[in-house]
Amino acid sequence: MTRRPRTADGARPAFRPLREEITDLPNLITLVRIAFIPAILICIDSYSPKLWALGALLFAVAAASDALDGFLARRLGLVTVVGKFLDPLADKLIVLSTLVMLVAKGRAPAWLVIVLMARELAITGLRAIASQEGFVIAAGAGGKAKAALQMVGIGFLLIHLPYDILLIDTTLDFHQVGIYLLYLSLVMSVLSAVEYFRFFARAAQKQARELAAQGITRERLKELARERRERLRRLKRRRRIEKRERRRDRLAARRDRRRTRAERRRDSRSPDGRGR
């Protein structure tokens, strides 16, 4: 397990190279969760109920590791840039890839998976825009319920077949229960998406009112953004020019050294040079 090195006063450094962050225990668990995806897809593509059950088990382990790596990251103080990128990416990869494979095997309705994928893409884009505006759209209760229903429903669809329940004289159709859970997750997906968009709209309106109270309009913000981009463009241009000048100076110094060495060799070979 890799812990962040502490400074002399006992505090952890704010930034570390990404190559060091990738070896943290929570990030390694996330990478293992991503590595489970091919194995789960292979189990789905088989015709063996045992492999289907194995795929469900791997999916359950991956779902449980999602909570584990977040807990360890907070407990050990290992919340990193790499972790913030990999954790939601791993969740979406394992859920969406499994759903697509289930559609290909005829175990899930295609329209349902399309709506779920569209919702994920829309919320991801909304969060990206919100972060640029300075907002943070955290996962609410609806989003967490949606994720839980999806995970459990996909697990049932992976098992697929009906089985007799021990100690109860009944048969549980895992496929039908999984479909019902996915329908419930669809309802929670739509409701949580509406809540996220409402939060973004309210936050944007509040920010607009605060800026208007300060005498700052949207046009002024756009002008400031253009000025900032122009400053960055000038800075990059100046750095490129300085880099070319340094390269030119190094080449000129190298030519001077070569010329000096050539003159010394020529002088050493001349009769006057040998006399001296």
Residue 29 has pLDDT above 70, yes or no: yes
User: By CB neighbour count within 10 A (0-12 exposed, 13-18 middle, 19+ buried), where does 275 fall?
Assistant: exposed
Backbone dihedral region for residue 10 (phi beyond 0: left; psi -120 to 50: alpha; all else: beta): left
> In angstroms, rounded to a whole number, what is the distance separating the alpha carbons of residues 108 and 75?
38
pLDDT, residue 183, reads: 94
Rounded to whole angstroms, what are the CA distances from 169 to 45, 49, 59, 172, 173? 31, 22, 28, 10, 13
pLDDT, residue 39, reads: 93
Higher-confidence residue of 226 and 109: namely 109
pLDDT, residue 111, reads: 94
* Largest interatomic CA distance in the chain: 115
Kindly give the interhelix angle for 81-104 and 49-75, rounded to the nearest 10 degrees.
Answer: 160
Mark out the alpha helices in the chain (DSSP H runs): 18-21, 25-44, 49-75, 81-104, 110-132, 141-159, 174-213, 218-269, 271-275
Question: Region 139-145: what's the mean pLDDT?
Answer: 82
Share the mean pLDDT of the chain.
83
User: By CB neighbour count within 10 A (0-12 exposed, 13-18 middle, 19+ buried), where does 207 fall?
Assistant: middle
Phi and psi torsions of 77, nearest 5°: 70, 35
Q: What is the pLDDT of residues 236-259, one digit of tens each?
A: 899 889 989 999 999 989 988 888
Both tokens of 164, joined, read 């007799």
Residue 53 has pLDDT above 50, yes or no: yes
Higher-confidence residue of 17 and 222: namely 222
Every domain of the chain and the residues it spans = 1-106, 107-215, 219-275
Ranked by mean pLDDT, which of 4-18, 189-203, 257-271 comes out on top? Answer: 189-203
Query: Residue 162: in which H helix or E strand, if any?
Result: strand 162-164
Confidence at 276, pLDDT banded by 50, 70, 90: very low
Higher-confidence residue of 104 and 273: namely 104
First to last CA, the chain: 70
> In angstroms, rounded to a whole number, what is the distance separating the alpha carbons of residues 113 and 88?
18
Confidence at 17, pLDDT banded by 50, 70, 90: low
Considering only 149-153, 204-208, 218-222, which range has the smallest mean pLDDT?
218-222
Residue 180 has pLDDT above 60, yes or no: yes
Question: Region 132-145: what's the mean pLDDT?
Answer: 78
**Cα 193–196–200 angle (5° rounding)?**
140
Model confidence pTM above 0.75: no
pLDDT, residue 182, reads: 93
Confidence at 129, pLDDT banded by 50, 70, 90: confident
Tell whether the torsion through CA atoms of 71, 76, 77 and 83 is positive or negative: negative
pLDDT, residue 58, reads: 92
